[in-house]
Amino acid sequence: MTKTPLILAEKTNPADNNDLLRRVNGFSRMDKHQRRHWLGEHYLPADQAEALGYFDAPDDVRQEVLDNFSENTVANFPMPFGVAPNFLVNGKTYAIPMVIEESSVVAAASSAAKYWLSRGGFHAEVVAAEKLGQLHFRWGGKPERRAALLDDLCTRVRAQTKELTARMESRGGGVRGMSWRHLPEVAEDCYQLLVRFGTADSMGANFINTVLEAYGRELERWAEDCPDLTEEERELEVIMAILSNHTPNCVVRAWVSSPISAMNVPGVQVDAADFARRFKLAVDIARQDPYRAVTHNKGIMNGVDAVVLATGNDFRAIEAACHAYAAADGQYRGLSRCRLVDDTFHFELSLPLALGTVGGLTKLHPMASAALDVLGRPGAEELMCVMAAAGLAQNFAALRSLVTTGIQKGHMKMHLQNILSSFDATPEERRLTEEHFVGKTVSHHGVREYLDEVRKA
């Protein structure tokens, strides 16, 4: 009698074999062409895998710079790099570089910039520019002993990192202070050293993390050899050392204001006072309703992120920090505020922006470097002001549309180009379609129908 090889049958299932073949060792050691070839064998049609090289840099040296930013690279992923001109911020006119894929964002920023150019421009000030780092550890001492020990600990860790901090101090940064916190809600023996840093014109992540890790090593030495400690107080285990991306002490405020009577909306039949009233209501709704607040803040981040990306800053850090800030009182709220006081319209935005204009990608990425050149090589605080103005402008433009014409009119006009691209429209087809849709509602379906007609004709 023959036995049925049940398990074998399962193993020889062709789908499973394909899946096993897709598992790979040593992918990181392949060069880029080998990686594309491998993708072409296992995941993509071969010609599509080869076409990933479409946006390769024109020479190996420039390509290598990009490849070295990350691991396992197979291609470049280009994004549009645009510029929003006419931004008057603190009396200086900027053309703000923006990297973003969403149609209408740069157009909206440019339009808001122009609107405020004739109304005094944007104003901005850095409220505070301090960053934080945390060293978490377990310690066998009593929480009430912290006050007596902190000074000595502080002196020791500072002395040990003198060389690390000297250069940053010469640029106006360094360690500004520290506190020792007990975290009984985590565990009775859980503590945190919260360290305040100034990082001058750099974002400072590497600096902060290097200093904190050195603090961690010194903390362990301190527990071993500080003569003032009891046996229990020598029990110490460092858990982790890392900067905090929550930066409520690295905040910029941007604002605009205008007589309400001058708040007319070009091209729209709306009374200036009515517009200001509806606009304020829209801002107030976002302050109270989290569902609206998230969308409202997304609009602000359209402007902020585009400048963050263009200047080679860390958009994940900025996003995380801004949303934490938006929920600072326990409820997620819109980040901007509007007031109508006497006859004046006031609109402002405060947000945490931990930025750098030196070091990291800002220097290495040729486009980030070009963006900083366009901005006139600002320091970190000037960039915070410009970026906050871009966020406020974006928010203004979105709300101006929302409370007047609705958002889709402008958005679909810009989006028409994307729809046409998805149908591989020729320049002539583009021209005809643009003409056809003047004054009409643009939709994907409508464009397809119209293009079908044109193509049949």
Which three-class secondary structure state does DSSP give residue 313? coil
Residue 92 known to be catalytic: no
Residue 37 known to be catalytic: no
Q: Return the number of the residue (358 or 414) whose C-beta is nearest ligand MEV.
A: 414
d(CA 49, CA 241): 41
Is residue 192 at the binding interface for ligand MEV, with CB under 6 A as the rule? Answer: no
Report the residue from 36, 123, 136, 296 that binds ligand MEV according to the rule CB under 6 A.
296
Contact predicate 200/173, CB 8 Å: yes
Site string for ligand MEV, 131-160 (x = CB under 6 A): ------------------------------
Stretch that binds ligand MEV, among 125-133, 189-197, 361-369, 396-404 (CB under 6 A): 396-404
Tokens 């594309």: give the residue.
36
Report the residue from 236, 385, 398, 412 that binds ligand MEV according to the rule CB under 6 A.
398
Catalytic option among 50, 56, 102, 233? 102
Residue 233 contacts by C-beta under 8 Å, 6 or more apart in sequence?
Answer: 139, 140, 141, 145, 149, 223
Is residue 407 at the binding interface for ligand MEV, with CB under 6 A as the rule? Answer: yes
Burial of residue 158 (number of CB atoms within 10 Å: 0-12, 13-18, 19+): middle
Sign for the CA dihedral angle at 423, 427, 429, 431 comes to: positive
Is residue 245 at the binding interface for ligand MEV, with CB under 6 A as the rule? Answer: no
Q: Return the number of the residue (200 or 389) whose C-beta is nearest ligand MEV.
A: 389
User: According to CB under 6 A, which residues from 85 to 104 bind ligand MEV?
Assistant: 102
Residue 298 known to be catalytic: yes
H/E stretch holding 258: strand 250-259
Which three-class secondary structure state does DSSP give residue 333? coil
Residue 314 known to be catalytic: yes
Closest listed residue to residue 43, CA positions, set 73, 18, 62, 78: 18
Stretch that binds ligand MEV, among 30-38, 109-117, 247-255, 394-402 (CB under 6 A): 394-402
User: According to CB under 6 A, which residues from 195 to 234 bind ligand MEV?
Assistant: none
DSSP string, 100-165: --STTHHHHHHHHHHHHHTTT-BEEEEEEE-EEEEEEEEE-S-GGGHHHHHHHHHHHHHHHTHHHH
Stretch that binds ligand MEV, among 34-42, 71-79, 235-243, 294-302 (CB under 6 A): 294-302
What separation, in Å, do the N-terminal and C-terminal C-alpha atoms of the chain show? 72
> Which amino acid, 1?
M
Report the residue from 82, 97, 299, 359 that binds ligand MEV according to the rule CB under 6 A.
299
Q: Return the number of the residue (157 or 419) whose C-beta is nearest ligand MEV.
A: 419
H/E stretch holding 322: helix 315-326
Site string for ligand MEV, 312-341 (x = CB under 6 A): ------------------------------
Tokens of 249: 């002490």
Q: Return the number of the residue (265 or 368) whose C-beta is nearest ligand MEV.
A: 265
At closest approach, how far in Å is the CB of 81 from ligand MEV?
19
Catalytic option among 131, 136, 280, 411? 411
d(CA 346, CA 364): 39
Report the residue from 76, 209, 257, 295 that binds ligand MEV according to the rule CB under 6 A.
295
Give how far the C-alpha of residue 319 lies from the chain's centroid of Cα atoms, to the nearest Å: 5
Residue 294 CB neighbour total at 10 angstroms = 15
Which residues are identified as catalytic?
102, 298, 314, 411
- State the residues that interact with ligand MEV by CB under 6 A: 102, 295-296, 298-299, 302, 398-399, 402, 407
